[in-house]
Amino acid sequence: MDILPVDLWVLLAFIPAGLALNLTPGADMMFCLGQGLRSGPAAAMAANFGIALGGMVHTLAAGLGLGALLAAHPVAFDLIRWLGVGYLLWLAVKGLRASGWLTAGGRGALTPQRAFREAFVVNLLNPKVILFILAFLPQFVDPSRAVLPQFMTLGFVFSLGGLLVNGAVGVFAGKLGQGLATSPAFSRWLGRVSAGIFGLLALRLAMMEKG
C-alpha cells in the first residue's frame, strides 16, 4: 500500500522540474523583489507566503475542475485578468505616492500582514497561474489514483520551492533596501522602482492571452 498520494519516483522527477521553473524569473519573483525593496525582508517573506497560499488555492481549484471551467469561458478569464491588472496598477500608484512622486507622503513601508494580503490577492487575480497549473501538474498525475490528493501534493512541493527561491530574492532585496534607506533620496527612488515593478507586472498581465 502506497503511503504517499504521488508515486515516489514521480515525485523525485517532479522536484527538479518544479525547482527549475521556480528559478526562472517570473511575476512571483518580481513581486517579492518589489516588496523587499519597498518594505524590507519581513514584508518580502510575508508576500512570499501570500503568493504560496494563493498558488495552493489555484491548485485546489484545478484539482476540483474549476480551472478547466475557467479555461473554457474566456469572459470569466478576462474578468479576473483585468481585475488583477487594476489591482497591480493600484499598488504601483501607492508606491509612487509613498515615494513622494505624486504626493509628499511618507515612507510607505508595508507591514508584513499587508504585504501578505496584497500578494495573496495578486496571485488569486492572475488566471494564468491556474492555467499553468493545469498545463504542468497533470503531466505528473496518475489517473489510476485519486487526482485531488496528487494535485495538492505536487502543488505543495512546487510552492515550497517557490518559497525558497522567491524568499531568497525578496530577503536580499529587502536587506539592500534597508541598508540604503538612510538616504531620503534613495528611499524615494526605491519607492519608484517598486512602483515600476508593479506597473510592469500589470502590463505583462494585460498583454497576456489565454492560450
- For the segment 79-90, what is each residue's pLDDT rounded down to a tens digit? 777 887 887 787
The winner for highest mean pLDDT among 94-108, 113-127, 195-209 is 113-127
Give which of 160, 172, 162, 139 is closest to 36, Cα–Cα: 172
pLDDT in tens, 145-204: 888 899 999 999 999 999 999 999 999 888 876 665 555 565 566 667 767 777 887 787
pLDDT at 101: 45
pTM above 0.85, yes or no: no
pLDDT at 184: 59
The three-point CA angle 120-140-19 to 5° equals 55
User: Which one-letter amino acid corresponds to residue 75?
Assistant: V
pLDDT in tens, 27-82: 888 889 888 887 889 999 999 999 999 999 999 988 888 767 766 777 877 777 78
